[in-house]
Structure 1
Amino acid sequence: MGTAGILGEDDRGELLDGRLIGMPPIGPPPGPTVNDLEKLFARRLYKPEGTLARIHVQNPIQLDDYSAPEPDVVLYDPEMPRNRRLLVR
């Protein structure tokens, strides 16, 4: 979309139900709150005896062929290979 001139370099959006939805830039208050949540989850989820879940912060998740939102925080199965694109069904 950037090559076609539909989106600029700094444009943000999420694909939801096949439609591109404009998103505001990351900034206060969500930014610091998301960082605090990530630290809290990391302390609780990463244990010497095993990882309970992995943390995915402000990155897209592929829900289906028509939706790839970018939630602030997602917790997902630690058994999922790290190199696999996060797919939630």
Structure 2
Amino acid sequence: MMEDDEEKRGIAIQIALEAGVLEQCEFHEDCLFEGGEEIEAAYKLGNFKISNGEYGDVFESRREMTDLIKEVVQDNSAEECYSCAKNRDD
């Protein structure tokens, strides 16, 4: 069950990254932060992928997917990489 949750969360993050809603720091791979796109872009991309047969067996519903996208975006809502900001401020 925990592995399923991690897989779903990873896919939600990937969708948000592909849609430009989140960005990944080029120096710190584990750091995600706000991208330039609105969250609706990730919802649309996720729904498009499910309609094309991707992730259909991963999520129980489209709603589960969009709720998880919303969660990962909120969890990574910083304006910049925290590690880069900390190094700059030191």
Normalising by the residue count of structure 2, what TM-score does the alignment of the two structures yield?
0.28
Give 1 or 2: higher strand fraction.
1
Give 1 or 2: higher helix fraction.
2
Bigger Cα Rg? 1
